[in-house]
């Protein structure tokens, strides 16, 4: 049963500390997304990659957030330094995007999320 795996599931940290969240996309998927869910904003895009190349990171605070894909099986989201306003649930999603002109479902499959609390 293929699924997106996110670690850790929960993280409590103090303001100023570095936080690293990891995501293992579904094997064979070529697109990885990072979303954040808060009560105020709902689900919002932070960044996404296709074939490991960043396509859009306009939703990310550049001064403290960074997203990378060291290889096709791992995506990371780092916050340094963390602040209380970063407290949220962070979701990773992956999908197989075909760019051959055929309209396909191109569904995004979500992990269970990392719940981050910054005190």
Partner 1 sequence: DQQVKQNSPSLSVQEGRISILNCDYTNSMFDYFLWYKKYPAEGPTFLISISSIKDKNEDGRFTVFLNKSAKHLSLHIVPSQPGDSAVYFCAASQHPGYALNFGKGTSLLVTP
Nearest CB to partner 1, comparing residues 15 and 107: 107
> Which stretch, 11-19, 40-48, 68-76, 77-85, contacts partner 1 (CB under 8 A)?
40-48
Residues 46-75 that bind partner 1 (CB under 8 A): 48, 56
Tell me which stretch binds partner 1 (CB under 8 A): 12-20, 67-75, 77-85, 101-109: 101-109
Residue 87: exposure state from Cβ atoms within 10 A (0-12, 13-18, ≥19): middle
Give the end-to-end CA distance of the chain in Å, rounded to a whole number: 36
SS3 state of residue 86: helix
Contact flag: residue 28 with partner 1 (CB under 8 A): no
Place of tokens 């960044």: 47
């Amino acid at each position: 049963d293929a699924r997106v795996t996110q670690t850790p599931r929960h993280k409590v940290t103090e303001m100023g500390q570095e936080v690293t969240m990891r995501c293992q996309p579904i094997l064979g998927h070529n697109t990885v997304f990072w979303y954040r869910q808060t009560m105020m904003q709902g689900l919002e895009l932070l960044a996404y990659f296709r074939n490991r190349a960043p396509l859009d990171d306009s939703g990310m605070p550049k001064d403290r957030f960074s997203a990378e894909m060291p290889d096709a099986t791992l995506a990371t989201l780092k916050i340094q330094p963390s602040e209380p306003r970063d407290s949220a649930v962070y979701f990773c999603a992956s999908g197989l995007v075909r760019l051959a002109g055929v309209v396909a479902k191109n569904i995004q499959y979500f992990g269970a999320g990392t719940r981050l609390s910054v005190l």
